[in-house]
Amino acid sequence: MRALTEALAISGLSILILGHSRAAASIEHNIAQYWEMQLVQQGRVPPKHGLSVGVASLLVWPYYLRFLDEDLSKLDLDKIKANRISHEDREKWMVHAFGEEGGRTIMRENPGDFLTWDEQLRRITVAQQRLPEIKAVIKEMPPMQDIENTLRTLQGDLTPADEDIPQDLLDLSLRCGKDYRTRYNLMKLLDECGLLEEYLA
């Protein structure tokens, strides 16, 4: 209880200092929130948010570990540029993934997610330059087994199946969780570097 209370207090202070929740939430929260939104739209009662975040954390942890071996200097920039999604197709994707009302709302609130090629290239270049720093942060993350053991100790859910998340919803959430908010995260980085589908294959 002490550890939990201290963690919540530190997270809350970090959010107050930064002015947003990025310090306490990343792609795992987006994925969990996507499950919740979709299940509510289907008239189903979603799992508790904390349980879903735990499950989603275990889902994305292997992608962080795989990224430790990534060499962004070998990216084929011409191929990435050629495969860029058009503005029109991105709009269709957002409506497909989040529904008409949800998709339009998210796009309206996050116009910066419609990247120009110049902005995408700038982000790729920064990621290439700062790759050692990104990997250093990942190396500071606790072992995945510790997260799983903690969830087991707390009798929490461990898999999407434990939460009755169907496979189609799971697959979609891994591809569109990055689109819920503008905030930069690993899945957004992988997508902008043309690597997301390779990781999810």
Q: Over the stretch 150-184, which tens digit does the pLDDT of each residue have?
A: 999 989 999 999 999 999 999 999 999 899 888 88
Q: Which two tokens stand for residue 87?
A: 């503005």
**Is pLDDT of 40 > 80?**
yes
Q: Residue 64, by phi and psi: left (phi above 0), alpha (psi -120 to 50) or beta?
A: alpha
Higher pLDDT pick, 90 / 21: 90
> Where residue 4 falls among pLDDT bands split at 50, 70, 90?
confident
pLDDT at 112: 85
Contacts (Cβ under 8 Å, ≥6 apart) of 94: 103, 104, 106, 107, 176, 179
pLDDT in tens, 90-116: 999 999 999 999 999 999 998 888 999
Contact of 163 with 35, CB cutoff 8 Å = yes
Average pLDDT over residues 79-91: 95
Distance of alpha carbon 103 from alpha carbon 49, whole angstroms: 21
Closest CA to 122 of 110, 130, 111: 130
Distance of alpha carbon 50 from alpha carbon 66, whole angstroms: 25
pLDDT at 77: 97
